[in-house]
Structure 1
């Protein structure tokens, strides 16, 4: 079964953001502001990519949606980061309606005549190194459900919320269903709707879903430029610096290296 991961990397969509802008030009300026985009690159390099590169099942495609107007210096930097990641596919697009563009980009990487497992992935999140392998196994386990439904959601609710810094990894364990990371949708052949046609918190309103509480399957990145943290009255989250044993777990489970984090953020 085909597996496709989908990531928006500072794509200036119409809609799709909790931070609203009156003009497209304002959104583009916000997305490519040097301080913000620098932080996105650091998280992408240290948190997002390592676990994807290290997947025990490497048979998947990872589509990265970017804006056609992204400055060339950032495009070159992005290409350099995924040079040794053959599953990556950069998809430049002009600004357009969020869900429509995401659906088109995902389907451009699909064989629509075949079933597909699609997972969404933010540029500051991570999945465990066996996520793709586990996703395929889960799809086999619920095969009767997949045969009866156009779409079926698969969600892993246990993981970590983490903030990388010059000191290393600040993190704590969490259980949170439908959080949009380590979440997938099984799509039947011929169905053009994608995982991005649905809000991750509302997935179970549109299709049957199966939630798994073991094992720990994700790291949800936490930083000052999270879209969900730009609203007023959002309280800061204090995360403890992890110890050496937890650093080792992050390396083994998510391929996140605390020494690499310290170098990049230092």
Structure 2
């Protein structure tokens, strides 16, 4: 890493945040969105996914030098917030950011600004949903990619690091399905923007499927770096944009053992 480049990686997780825009649900109006997101049965499902997938993947990172910003509404129900606080304690630098309803970009930008260190030369804003997982080396690989990316793109220019190879975990009434994917357009899980501290753009400035049309973008399409869940509570359609890869059970076991803190059996029974 060049001595004048001091990146701070901030993982932003929107946890049932009532946003005024940026989600399909936002079209229903603030009151309807709040009622849906804060429903006890839905929150219980989200917490189970977060506890089983997202949080373990963060705790398993081989590079623990990152900040986690969990964005919730200012009126997020108190008992659930206390549960979230307890879950986040094992993470070295995790913060709950409580904000009133704002647009998706404004809210995530505020969350990032509140977590940004004055010692950082660059902020690396990373996307992660509360029901997905990143590989145990995702932070380390992101950090490794920053110096050559800035050398090519220019340290003053925002640039994107994305991962197009991973696993999809579909939860269906008939049972879960786990398979590989190679996306043809950038997927948001673990995707980051590297930008000078104080710059306006973040990873939430542009739809994740379109970042390569606006910013210089490095995409790793060879190494499994994420697990995406597809289920009834998804705000997006959960579609796959590329190629489905039917791994054998042995291949799935090897991928999980090398890169994720989960067994295939645990994933196949998740949510049941």
Does TM, scored on the shorter chain, surpass 0.5? yes
Q: For each residue in 1:90-141, what CA deviation from the matched residue of structure 2 results, as whole angstroms up to 9, or x when unmatched?
A: 1111111221111111121113661122211011111110111101111122
State the 1:225 CA deviation.
0.3
Aligned partner of 2:84 among 42, 63, 78: 78
Residues 56-99 of structure 1 show CA distances to partners (whole Å, capped at 9, x for unaligned) of 11000011000111111211221222121223211111111221
Distance (Å, rounded) in 2 between the aligned partners of 1:164 and 1:81: 24
CA distance in 2, matches of 1:212, 1:169: 27
Q: Which moved more, 1:112-121 or 1:8-17?
A: 112-121
Of 147-156 and 123-132, deviating more is: 147-156
SS of the residue 1:227 aligns to: coil
What CA RMSD, in Å, does the superposition of the two structures yield over aligned residues? 2.7
Q: Which runs of 5+ in 1 are unaligned?
A: 231-238
Structure 2 residue 162 is the aligned partner of structure 1 residue 192: no
Greater length-normalized contact order (CA 8 Å, ≥ 6 residues apart): 1
SS of 2:81's partner is helix
Counterpart of 1:235?
Answer: none
Aligned residues: 259
C-alpha separation in 1, matches of 2:254 and 2:266: 13
**Deviation at residue 252 of structure 1 after TM alignment:** 3.6
Give 1:167 shift. 10
Relative to structure 1, is the Cα distance of residues 140 and 167 closer, same or farther in structure 2, using a 3 angstrom cutoff?
farther
Partner SS for 1:122: coil
Tell me the residue number matched to 1:138.
145
The change in CA–CA distance for 1:163 and 1:251 in structure 2 (over 3 A counts) is: farther
CA–CA distance in structure 2, aligned partners of residues 248 and 12 of structure 1: 39
Structure 2 segments unaligned to the other structure (5+ residues): 1-6, 239-244
The secondary structure found in structure 2 opposite 1:19 is: helix
The CA distance in 1 between the partners of 2:248 and 2:91, in whole Å, is 28
TM-score (norm 2): 0.85
Deviation, 1:191, is 1.1
